[in-house]
Amino acid sequence: MNTFSKNFVMLGASLGMVLLGILSADTSVHALDERAWRDKSGNYQVTATLVGHNDELAILKKPDGEMVAFPITDLSTSDREYLDSNDAKKIAHSRKSQTWTFRDGRQVAGEVVSHGDKEVVIQSRRGKIFVNDRAFENLPEVYQEIVPLMVAHFENRRFGDVGEFKRFVERRGSRPLKYKCEGVILELENGDEYGVPYFLFSDDDRKFLEAGRDDYRREETTDEERENHALYTRSLAHEYQQNRVAEQQIQRLQLGLLATTAGVTDMWEVAMIPPNGNFYFAQSVVVFARDSRQASILASQQWPGYTVGPVRRVNRNW
């Protein structure tokens, strides 16, 4: 049985089993990577899935959802060999699709890679606006939206559009605007990394992101500890996003079942192939639509950047 059919094989059984299928289908990576991990003494064993790793730590997720940071030097020989395998490297280096919500409702696609404090310097020079010595027009489009929001916060004002923001900066002449932003480092879809302040995020996202900032900012923290903390932050962010996607799927499922039962729509299972084209990392998505074409469109909206794979209608006679 392939990954696509395995993840939602229970969909034809009952509503309860459908909900269980959504909850358990965290990602196909987790389903395939669950294994018994042992320490080198052989006295400790835990069944878990690999979420990520670096040269020092392996981040494992137990079946109950608990995250464990395991020193690689304490793992068994077979586990260390597994971490050197291509399968483990794919997990460590794969891009994690994440969408974060700002307090004004807009959504930003990008992977949280670490906590970090950044000084943002904005200045008008030679008729152009520069942000940390980079021309504003050369910034990614999403960051061109973020910069005015940061300035508006610190200056306690509101900009109607980007033009108003630029005029505000230009009126200062050569005097730079300098702001210290406490937040996270967000890797955008183009691979660039930018600091995004906590205060820009929605209440739920901000509460989650701020949880680990104190440990990261301890003065006695070493560079190695910060690197390990960044790995754990990336892993937690990925799990947070996956759990939120599962909750959203359940909500859509509950609403869609009413229309499906009435014969207005059908339930469709769509395989979404990640940008790297590797079916091993495919996500199974359940949507409600009139036909397969509409199902493909709805699934694409849920997983931007992914390619639509096989689509199948789920039997409505549960």
Binning the chain into helix, strand and coil, the percentages to the nearest 5 are 45, 30, 25
Q: Does domain 26-95 have CATH number 3.30.70.20?
A: no
> pLDDT tens digit string along 191-245?
888 999 999 999 999 998 888 777 667 656 677 777 787 887 888 888 788 777 5
pLDDT tens for 229-288 read 788 788 888 878 877 755 555 455 555 554 555 555 677 888 888 876 665 566 777 777
Least confident of 19-23, 113-117, 178-182, 304-308: 19-23
187-197 tens-digit pLDDT: 887 888 899 99
Q: What percent of the chain has pLDDT over 70?
A: 75
Under 8 Å between Cβ of 57 and 230 = no
**Would you list the domain boundaries of the chain?**
9-25+244-314, 26-95, 99-238
DSSP 240-253: HHHHHHHHHHHHHH
pLDDT of residue 10 exceeding 60: no
